[in-house]
Structure 1
C-alpha cells in the first residue's frame, strides 16, 4: 500500500533528512587516504547520535540478507556499487567511495547516498560521478505532481544510457517514511506515462546506480551484502529522499 504523507509529516521527514545529509558531509570530509572504512562508520555513528538520529542501516536485516547489516553506513569502494560493509579496509589514493546513510528521527526515516573520489581523481571516475549526479537531478526534475513514476525512471535511464553506463536491474529507489523501504519501488529506467501517479504526499528515494563498464551484470560477495559490477568496472551510487508536493519535488536530504 502506498501511503501519502501530510505536510506536517513531510516536515518531520526533513529532520531525518538533515541528519542523513550532515552525516554524509562529515564522513566525506574525513575520507582521506589511509582512513579505514570502520573509522568512517564510527564517525557516522557519532554524528547521527549528535543529531538525535538512529542509524537505520545498523542491524537492518531484509529477508534476502544472510545476516543483519553491521554498519551505520554502507561504504562501497571502486567496483562495489551498493551495500559495502565498513571494515578495516584502508582507503587508497584514487579510490572511488560510495556512501549510503539512512537516519531515523522520531520514527521518520530519510536516506541519501553520494559517491566521490578519494585523493587524486581519475578523469573517468569524475565523468562517472557527474553522470550519476545529472541522472539524479533529471529524475528529481521529472518528479512533478501529475506525472507518472515511469517519467521519473525514464529520465534517469536516458541520461545513464547516453553516458554509456550500465544500469543494474533490481537496484533503485523506493518509497520511504515510517520505514526504510515502502511502496512503490522506483526503477532506474522505465516508460514515460506508465506507473503509479506522482501525487502530493508521496515520498520516495531517487537512487541512480551507474556502472562505468556499460554492462548491467552484477555479483554479490560472500558476505551476502556487497554488490559488485560483473566486469570489475567502477560504479557510482547517488540518491536523495524526495517529497512530491503541489509546488513540485522537495529534496528532504538536501544539505
Structure 2
C-alpha cells in the first residue's frame, strides 16, 4: 500500500504530490524515446497512401520501433492488439489496425504511437491527410494542431494544470470563429502524465477554466493531446471495445506531443531528432 487512498490520496493527486518528477538525465532518456516515436510516425506517414491498409502501417511502426531495440508501448496494453492506434475519418481514437481497413483518397487518418526505450515512454499522435483531402477536413486538422501548439506553450513552470486545458479550449474556439465552422472538443478523453509508465497522473482535460489542479514543476512530463470533431462531439465506443467514433459520423482528428516542464520553458520530447524542440510562439 502506498498510503495515497481515500481523501488524503485525492488531495495529494490534486496538489501534484503523486506526479512523477524526472531528473535532467531522465528527461534526456525520455527525449530519446520521443525521438524514436517521431521517427516512427514519419515512417508511417510516408507509407500512408491510398490502397495501403492500416495493418500494413502497423507493421511499419512495429518494425521501426523494434529496430531501435525498443518496445511498442501500445502492443498488449490492456489487451490492445497492435503497435499503433489507426483511426480513420469518423474514428476519433483507439482504432485497431486491420487488413480490411484500406485507405482511400480523401481519408483523414489519425495515428497514435508510443514506444518504450530503456524503460522510458514516448507518446505522440498525428493526423495524416491521405491523398486529396477536402478543405474543411484540412482546416479541422489545422485547428486541432493549433490547439495542441497553444497547449504546449502553456506547459510552463508555475502554471496550473488547467491553464493548459484553457489554452487548448480557447485556441479551438478561435479557430472555429476564424473558419466559420463548428469544432467540438472531445471531453471524455485527454492528456496525461507520462514517464516510467505510459499513463500516469495527472489527467489533463482538453477544456476548462484556468487556475485549477496541480502546479506544474520542472521535471514533470505530460502528453498533451486534443481531439476535435466536426460538429457535436458526442462519441460511441464500437463493439471491439476500443474504437471510439463520432456519434454523428462527422470527421475527427487527433494531435499529440509529449512535453516536459523545465525552467527554460516547455521541451518537446517527441519532436523529430534534429528539429526544434521548443514550441514556436
Q: Same fold (TM over 0.5)?
A: yes
User: Is 1:81 paired with 2:98?
Assistant: no
User: Is 1:30 paired with 2:42?
Assistant: no
Tell me how far 1:161 sits from its aligned partner: 2.9
Output one character per residue of 1:127-163: Cα deviation in whole Å (capped at 9) or x when no partner. Answer: 0110011000000011111111111100101122331
Q: Say which of 209, 234, 243 aligns to 1:226.
A: 243
Kindly report structure 1 stretches of 4+ aligned residues shifted beyond 6 Å: none
Normalised to the residue count of structure 1, the TM-score between the two structures is: 0.96
Output one character per residue of 1:65-84: Cα deviation in whole Å (capped at 9) or x when no partner. Answer: xxx11110000000001000
Secondary structure of the structure 1 residue equivalent to 2:77: coil
**Larger Rg belongs to:** 2
User: Is 1:128 paired with 2:145?
Assistant: no
- Alignment match, 1:159: 171
Q: Say which of 164, 169, 194 aligns to 1:176.
A: 194
Q: Say which of 270, 275, 280 aligns to 1:253.
A: 270
User: Is 1:7 paired with 2:36?
Assistant: no
- Alignment match, 2:224: 206
1:38-117 aligned within 5 A? 38-61=55-78, 68-88=79-99, 89-117=101-129
Tell me how far 1:216 sits from its aligned partner: 2.1
CA distance in structure 1 between the aligned counterparts of 2:62 and 2:102, rounded to whole angstroms? 19
Normalised to the residue count of structure 2, the TM-score between the two structures is: 0.87
Secondary structure of the structure 2 residue equivalent to 1:112: strand
**Runs of 5+ consecutive residues of structure 2 not aligned to the other structure:** 1-17, 177-181, 273-281
Q: What root-mean-square deviation, in Å, do the aligned CA atoms of Structure 1 and Structure 2 show?
A: 0.8
User: Is 1:185 paired with 2:178?
Assistant: no
**Runs of 5+ consecutive residues of structure 1 not aligned to the other structure:** 62-67
CA distance in structure 1 between the aligned counterparts of 2:230 and 2:259, rounded to whole angstroms? 26
CA distance in structure 2 between the aligned counterparts of 1:241 and 1:44, rounded to whole angstroms? 18
CA distance in structure 1 between the aligned counterparts of 2:19 and 2:153, rounded to whole angstroms? 21
Tell me how far 1:169 sits from its aligned partner: 1.7
Secondary structure of the structure 2 residue equivalent to 1:5: coil
Secondary structure of the structure 2 residue equivalent to 1:125: helix
